[in-house]
Amino acid sequence: MVILGLSPIVHESAVGLVVDGKLVAAAAEERFSRIKSDGAFPDRALQFVFDKTGLSPADVDHVAYAALPFAKERLRDVVGYARNVAYVAQASDRAATKLAHLLNYTRNLVLHNEWATWGGTQRRIRCELEKWDLAGKMVYVDHHLAHVASAYYTSGLDRCLAVSLDGYGSGQAGSFYLGQGGKLRLLSPIPYPHSLGTFYRRVTQALGYRPNRHEGKIVGLAAFGDPTKLYAEVRARFDLDHEDYYRFKSAADPWFEKRLAAAHAPSDVAAAYQRVLEDVATLFVHKWVRRTGVKDVVCAGGVFANVKLNQRIAEIPEVERLFVFPAMSDGGVGVGAALALQADLRGLEPNRLPHVYLGPSYEEERIGRALAASGLRYRRSDDIETDIVDNLLARKVVARFDGPMEFGPRALGNRSILYPALEPAVNKWLNERLGRTEFMPFAPVSLDERATELYENVEAVRHTAQFMTVTTDCTPKMRAESPAAVHVDGTARPQLVKAEINPSLYKVLKLYERRTGIPTLINTSYNMHEEPIVCAPEDALRAFRDGRLEVLAIGNYLVQSSEAA
Ligand SMILES: [Fe+2]
């Protein structure tokens, strides 16, 4: 059975192809269009999944779309709104705050784009699918079921708590499910507007960053602040005296974050929001872990892009293993919809996702042509990994482009920039060169076989740490050897590499370790400021020039900038 999974066409549109329950190809439209978080209909990504698999639209049995039909979604919105009005009326909060919340919530509901256009987005999707002869095959899947399915069916864990948390989807802001024997059973939805995604998005915006894009910067900034200064005030917005889910009082109050941001240091505001987010989410995950007696937790939804939150969940005493779907945001929810539909129609056991190298790859001949047209100096290498390590030891920044592109937000060695993790100063000068502002240091990539020497409590997150989805505390050895990859709070967000998953990256790390004794490098994504990660060889060559990088190892070719030569 061939199921095409489609993310909502709002932001991060993406597609994935599931063949007989196995994810065989997936990519986001932004990588092809070169527009960050592109929400256009994913024509280019669709073409890619067909090109890669040799299948055609006629071979597709169903198109799983991670949303409910228009009328059903709006009905949930209205029911949620009515319940929230009743809840807010009795909640313990200041009257002015309640009023501000209700007025803004009412306004947002009435002005909701889907109301205004009466289902315009869904009509547009059908229209676009018609062009591919796929409109008749469309099946709607609840957004949060799709999120938890993405995590459950790729975790390899048979019995676990499956949690989704995001801003909004299908009238809800999250859900708790129990995954068991290949089936997902809803324990409790988290109705909108009780949204931790919205909570964090609002502070991102109030601190002057782009919502739905720069939340990761707030996570990094938080480590520099004092969480205790504003904790009580921010925490008081939540009502935690329930067993099913937290209530977010006056969630749509438009002034709260703005007032805090105007009066306090950004790092203290970020620190309080981060701590409250961690405490609220972890408290309810813990409650459900105790109620169900499960030992494993799997997560998806945009809130789980928060790597520090994920560490806190992994540290819940009863939790033995945590898995976060690598494309945890809405870019991955289409894949989840496809997996949920497969499970519904044919049954599906959870299988351990081996890797996310699911995107396009390019033949040597195509790379050679792009190089010849670039005017850059290059040569073919007989041993590209040794050349990479020689350059790293000479303290050159090495961009690496190789094999299939990663699916999801992280570059995992095939579209990455590598550098030794020895001097913390690299975070400043390399980010400046790439036109980025970051508060988190670059992330480390380490040999999997050295994980327990470098990262604390890593067994609980060993699978998910293949995908850079969680931070861990660093051991003294890691802090001493690779200080550039350790944050001020002593944590890092590792990628663990095994030989059988990425042989070339493994070989680079192994050679580097042999010559330095250190099994870790810095791995940051290969892209320029606010651009998507590079996809094709031409993107890599352009970013190489724009970033004034020193060395590019593209396939088996080595390119050196004229300044570095
Ligand atoms: Fe979502």
Contact (Cβ atoms closer than 8 angstroms) between residue 102 and residue 93:
no
By C-alpha distance, which of 159, 108, 129 is closest to 64? Answer: 129
Give residue 542's pLDDT. 94
| Centroid of ligand 1 to alpha carbon of 422 (angstroms) | 38
Whether omega for the bond prior to residue 409 falls within 30 degrees of 0, making it cis, is: no
| Centroid of ligand 1 to alpha carbon of 7 (angstroms) | 9
| Centroid of ligand 1 to alpha carbon of 561 (angstroms) | 42
* Torsions phi, psi for 312 (to 5 deg): -60, -40
DSSP 391-429: HHHTT--EEEE-SSPPSSS---SSEEEEEES--TTHHHH
Q: What is the number of alpha carbons within 13 Å of residue 69 lying toward its C-beta? A: 4
Contact (Cβ atoms closer than 8 angstroms) between residue 156 and residue 321:
no
Q: Would you identify the CATH topology of the domain 157-331?
A: Nucleotidyltransferase; domain 5 (3.30.420)
| Centroid of ligand 1 to alpha carbon of 403 (angstroms) | 29
| Centroid of ligand 1 to alpha carbon of 165 (angstroms) | 7
b/e for 292-320, b at 16 or more Cβ within 10 A?
bebebbbbbbbbbbbbbbbbbbbbbeebe
| Centroid of ligand 1 to alpha carbon of 166 (angstroms) | 5
| Centroid of ligand 1 to alpha carbon of 473 (angstroms) | 28
| Centroid of ligand 1 to alpha carbon of 135 (angstroms) | 23
> For each of the chain's 565 residues, which pLDDT tens digit applies?
999 999 988 888 999 999 999 999 999 999 999 999 999 999 999 999 999 999 999 999 999 999 999 999 999 999 999 999 999 999 988 999 999 999 999 998 888 767 777 778 888 999 999 999 999 999 999 999 999 999 999 999 999 999 999 999 999 999 999 999 999 999 999 999 999 999 999 999 999 999 888 898 999 999 999 999 999 999 999 999 999 999 999 999 989 999 999 999 999 999 999 999 999 999 999 999 999 999 999 999 999 999 999 999 999 999 999 999 999 999 999 999 999 999 999 999 999 999 999 999 999 999 999 999 999 999 999 999 999 999 999 999 999 999 999 999 999 999 999 999 999 999 999 888 888 877 888 999 999 999 999 999 999 999 999 999 999 999 999 999 999 999 999 999 999 999 999 999 999 999 999 999 999 999 999 998 889 999 999 999 999 998 889 999 999 999 998 654 4
Give residue 198's pLDDT. 95
| Centroid of ligand 1 to alpha carbon of 173 (angstroms) | 8
| Centroid of ligand 1 to alpha carbon of 332 (angstroms) | 9
Give residue 563's pLDDT. 55
Give residue 113's pLDDT. 66
| Centroid of ligand 1 to alpha carbon of 324 (angstroms) | 14
| Centroid of ligand 1 to alpha carbon of 530 (angstroms) | 22
Q: How far apart are CA 395 and CA 397, in angstroms?
A: 7
Q: How far apart are CA 554 and CA 498, in angstroms?
A: 21
CATH superfamily of the domain spanning 364-564: Carbamoyltransferase, C-terminal domain (3.90.870.20)
| Centroid of ligand 1 to alpha carbon of 460 (angstroms) | 25
Give residue 564's pLDDT. 46
User: Look-up: residue for tokens 């390019």?
Assistant: 362
At 404, list the tokens: 């299939």
| Centroid of ligand 1 to alpha carbon of 299 (angstroms) | 12
| Centroid of ligand 1 to alpha carbon of 172 (angstroms) | 9
Q: At what angle do helices 215-222 and 307-314 cross, to 10 degrees?
A: 60
| Centroid of ligand 1 to alpha carbon of 357 (angstroms) | 22
By C-alpha distance, which of 173, 177, 172 is closest to 152? Answer: 177
| Centroid of ligand 1 to alpha carbon of 198 (angstroms) | 11
